[in-house]
Amino acid sequence: MEAGAGMGRDAAVSKSEANGKSSSSSANGSANGEAVGGENIEEMPSSSPSAAQAVAGRQQVAMATLPRPAPAFRMVSAVIEKKEDGPGPRCGHTLTAVAAVGEEGTPGYVGPRLILFGGATALEGNSSAAGGPQTAAAGAGIRLAGATADVHCYDVTSRKWSRLIPVGDPPSPRAAHAATAVGTMVVIQGGIGPAGLSTDDLHVLDLTQAKPRWHRVVVQGAGPGPRYGHVMSLVGQRFLLSISGNDGKRPLADVWALDTAAKPYEWRKLDPEGEGPPPCMYATACARSDGLLLLCGGRDANSVPLDTAYGLAKHRDGRWEWAVAPGIAPSARYQHAAIFGDLHGLFGDLMRLGDEYGSPSTAGDITYIDYLFLGDYVDRGQHSLETITLLLALKIEYPNNVHLIRGNHEAADINALFGFRIECIERMGERDGIWAWQRINQLFNWLPLAALIEKKIICMHGGIGRSINHLHQIESLQRPITMEAGSVVLMDLLWSDPTENDSVEGLRPNARGPGLVTFGPDRVMEFCKNNDLQLIVRAHECVMDGFERFAQGHLITLFSATNYCGTANNAGAILVLGRDLVVVPKLIHPIPPAITSPESSPERHLEDTWMQELNVQRPPTPTRGRPQAGNDRGSLAWI
C-alpha cells in the first residue's frame, strides 16, 4: 500500500463541523419474505437509565439552544452542461457533504459541495441506467455488473453538477460502500462490486487542492474486514467509526474505531456498554457536532426491516455507550423483493430470469433484493433436480435472503406421478434415485406454506379457498405436514384458484377435482380487509402474460415457466416489489431454437425441456382464461 494523506485532528476540524453540520452515509433496507408461522418481531428492551438520560439530555439541550422548524423536502433544480457531468440514475452510491475550502470572497475559495461516489448504474435487462429513461420498471432492480468508481460533484451554491477526474490511486468500482467527510476529504471504505466484496482498505479523496487526488491510507493491524451495507461516520471530529454491515455471510453488529489524531493509524474493535442495535445492514448514521452518533433503521439478521434508532456516545473516561433514542420511531425501512411463480423444472428459464433481472450472489443483487419462490419447483420439466438443488443451495448460502414456500407439487404422491420420481431414478439409478426423491420430499414437508411481506402482502401457492379467513389459521399449521395429515386449510392453500373473472363471485366447484373450490373477488376483498392486507400474490395457474390481476388488482397470479408443457406459448414473469410496495412485473418470452440441424429442431428442444410423453398422457391444467373443453376435468390431466 502507498502511504496516503493524513487524517489528523487538524484536518478533521472544518468550518462545517464547527457549525454543527455533518455528513451521513445511507443505504436502503430489504423487503422481507417472512415465513408465516415464524417468530414475531419482539420490541427491543429499554437501555440503561444513564445512557438513555444522556441521549435525552443532549437532545433537550440541542433543542433549547438551537430551535428550528420541522424540516421539509423540496425539489432543487440542477444544472448539467454536459451529459457526462450528471450522475444519472443509480443506487448503492454515497452522497457526502464537504465543507467549503478557503474564505468566501478570497482567491481559491470553493463553496460547499456534495460528492457522489460509486453505485450501480446497470439496469435489469442488461441496459444502462445512464443512457436510458428513468421509469418505474427501470428503477426496480439495478445490477452490480454496472458498479462504477465515478466521482461527481454538486456545487451547492451554483447548483451545478460536474464530473471529477481525480489523480492518484482510486478505489475499485463498487456499491453499498460507506463514506464520510473528514474536513475537506471524503473517506471511502468497503462495499461490493462486480468481482464481489471490496477490501477494507481506506481510500481518501482529498478535495483541498484544485485537482482532487485519491490516496490509499495505510492502517496497521486487523480491521473491520471486507463488508458492505455498513455505515461510517466521524465522531467527535476525531474518531472514524465503522458499524454493522454484512461480510457476505451474515449481518454484523460490531463497532470499529480509528483515531485520526494518533499515528500510525490503527483500527480498534469497541465493546460499547448499553443496549445497542442488533446485527443489521443498510442502516443510516449521522454524527452530531457534540460527538453523539445516531444510527437508524436497516434490516436485521432475519431480513426484518427495523424502525429503531440508537445513540452512541463516548464518555470522558473513555467508555463508549449505546442508548435507545427516545421519542416516536420512524416507520421501518426496507428494500426490494423479487417473487417467482411456478418453475416446474425449467432450469433454463430460471437461468434466463437471473441473467435478465439479476441473480442472488455477492456479485449479483443479493445485496439489495430478497428472493421469494412460490412453489412447484419440480415435475413436468426435464430439469427438476437442477432446479431444486440450486434453490436449496441458495437457501443455505443466503438463509435470510432466499425464501422457499410449498406448492402442490411439493408432495410425494403428486411428484411420484408427474415426473420428479422418474427423473431421479433415470438420472441417479433406482437405489440412489429413490433415496434422493424420498429425502427431498421429507424436506418438502417442512417448507413454509405462505410468506408475509411488510405485513401488507400475503404470498401463497394456491389461494384462500373456502376455509381461510385469518392469517392465524395458516400460522397454526404445524410442520412437518403431509397432504394426508393436512386439513382443508392446507388443501385450500395449495390447490384453490380464483374464479374465472371478477364477475364470478362466491365459491364454485373447481374443475381440478372433487373437494376443490374456486373463490371469487368478494372473498379476496373480505380476506384483505379482515387482515389489513393490500395484496395476495399466488401462483399455481399458467397465465399468458406470466402474471394476471384479479379482484380489482388485489390478487395477482404469477407463473415463471415459459411455454408451459410445450403447448401454452405463455410468457414467464417475476414480480419486483419496490419502495412503498410498488409491484413491477418483469417478463421473459419463449425463445424457439434456431433450426440448424435435427439436434436443434423445435421437437428436440421440447424433448430437452419438457417431459413430452408424460405431458401427453397427463395434460396440464389449461392456461387460465382458456379452458380446453375436450379434456376430462376429473382426471389427472388437471393436476
Q: 50 lies in a domain?
A: no
Same domain, 222 and 98: yes
Same domain, 314 and 448: no
Q: 577 lies in a domain?
A: yes
Same domain, 317 and 391: no
- Residue 620 has a pLDDT of 73
Q: 66 lies in a domain?
A: no
Mean pLDDT across the stretch 375-380? 94
List helix spans (H) across 21-144.
49-65, 136-139
Whether the per-residue pLDDT at 140 is higher than 50: the answer is no
CA dist 352 and 349 (Å) reads 5
Residue pair 548/542 in contact by the 8 Å Cβ criterion: no
Question: Which of residues 225 and 361 earns the better pLDDT score?
Answer: 225
Among the ranges given (369-373, 374-378, 482-486), the one the predictor scored with the smallest mean pLDDT: 482-486
Same domain, 270 and 318: yes
Residue pair 407/343 in contact by the 8 Å Cβ criterion: no
Of residues 164, 158, 162, the one with CA closest to residue 109:
158
Secondary structure (3-state) at 212: coil
Residue 511 identity: A
- Residue 176 has a pLDDT of 92
Of residues 455, 456, 448, 451, the one with CA closest to residue 477:
448
Q: 67 lies in a domain?
A: no
pLDDT, one tens digit per residue, over 84-93 is 999 998 888 9
Q: 72 lies in a domain?
A: no
Same domain, 21 and 148: yes
Secondary structure (3-state) at 16: helix
Q: Of 262, 295, 324, which residue constitutes the final position of a domain? A: 324
How many structural domains comprise the chain? 2
Residue pair 520/527 in contact by the 8 Å Cβ criterion: no
pLDDT, one tens digit per residue, over 28-84 is 333 334 444 333 222 223 333 344 444 444 444 444 444 556 667 788 888 999 999
Among the ranges given (12-26, 141-155, 235-249), the one the predictor scored with the smallest mean pLDDT: 12-26
Whether the per-residue pLDDT at 142 is higher than 50: the answer is no
Residue 337 identity: A
Question: Which of residues 268 and 106 earns the better pLDDT score?
Answer: 268
Burial zone of 552 (CB within 10 Å; 0-12 exposed, 13-18 middle, 19+ buried): exposed
Q: 122 lies in a domain?
A: yes
Whether the per-residue pLDDT at 614 is higher than 50: the answer is yes
CA dist 152 and 156 (Å) reads 13
Residues across the chain: 639
Same domain, 251 and 391: no
Any catalytic annotation for residue 315?
Answer: no
Secondary structure (3-state) at 60: helix
Mean pLDDT across the stretch 9-29? 33
Same domain, 297 and 437: no
The set of residues, in sequence order, having a beta carbon less than 8 Å from that of 452 and lying 6+ positions away, is: 34, 35, 36, 458, 459, 471
pLDDT, one tens digit per residue, over 616-628 is 777 777 787 665 5
Residue 339 CA to chain centroid, in angstroms?
A: 11
Model-level pTM? 0.60
Question: Which of residues 491 and 368 earns the better pLDDT score?
Answer: 491
**Pick the catalytic residue: 409, 461, 540, 605?**
409
Q: How many CB atoms lie within 10 A of CB 320?
A: 20
pLDDT, one tens digit per residue, over 151-165 is 999 999 999 999 999
Residue pair 232/243 in contact by the 8 Å Cβ criterion: yes
**Owning domain of residue 624:** 336-638
pLDDT, one tens digit per residue, over 457-493 is 999 999 999 999 999 999 999 999 998 877 899 999 9
Of residues 179, 82, 89, 83, the one with CA closest to residue 130:
89
- Residue 14 has a pLDDT of 31
C-alpha cell at 269: 474493535
- Residue 137 has a pLDDT of 30
Q: 519 lies in a domain?
A: yes
- Residue 333 has a pLDDT of 59
Same domain, 421 and 315: no
Same domain, 209 and 286: yes
What proportion of the chain, given as a percentage, has pLDDT over 90?
58
Place of cell 436497516: 298
CA dist 65 and 4 (Å) reads 39
Of residues 374, 379, 460, 447, the one with CA closest to residue 413:
379
Residue pair 579/136 in contact by the 8 Å Cβ criterion: no
Residue pair 297/284 in contact by the 8 Å Cβ criterion: yes
Mean pLDDT across the stretch 204-225? 92
pLDDT, one tens digit per residue, over 317-331 is 999 999 998 876 666
The set of residues, in sequence order, having a beta carbon less than 8 Å from that of 349 and lying 6+ positions away, is: 343, 560, 561, 562, 572, 588
Q: Which CATH number is 541's domain given?
A: 3.60.21.10
Residue pair 585/573 in contact by the 8 Å Cβ criterion: yes
pLDDT, one tens digit per residue, over 420-468 is 999 999 999 999 999 999 999 999 999 999 999 989 999 999 999 999 9
- Residue 335 has a pLDDT of 60
CA dist 209 and 13 (Å) reads 17
Same domain, 233 and 177: yes
Same domain, 487 and 576: yes
The set of residues, in sequence order, having a beta carbon less than 8 Å from that of 23 and lying 6+ positions away, is: 96, 97, 98, 179, 180, 181, 233, 286
- Residue 451 has a pLDDT of 96
- Residue 606 has a pLDDT of 58
Residue pair 546/558 in contact by the 8 Å Cβ criterion: yes
Mean pLDDT across the stretch 301-314? 87
- Residue 77 has a pLDDT of 84
Among the ranges given (1-10, 172-181, 365-374, 630-639), the one the predictor scored with the smallest mean pLDDT: 1-10
Q: Which CATH number is 189's domain given?
A: 2.120.10.80
Question: Which of residues 486 and 242 earns the better pLDDT score?
Answer: 242
Q: 510 lies in a domain?
A: yes
C-alpha cell at 429: 439409478
Same domain, 265 and 344: no
CA dist 33 and 460 (Å) reads 11
- Residue 188 has a pLDDT of 96
Whether the per-residue pLDDT at 350 is higher than 70: the answer is yes
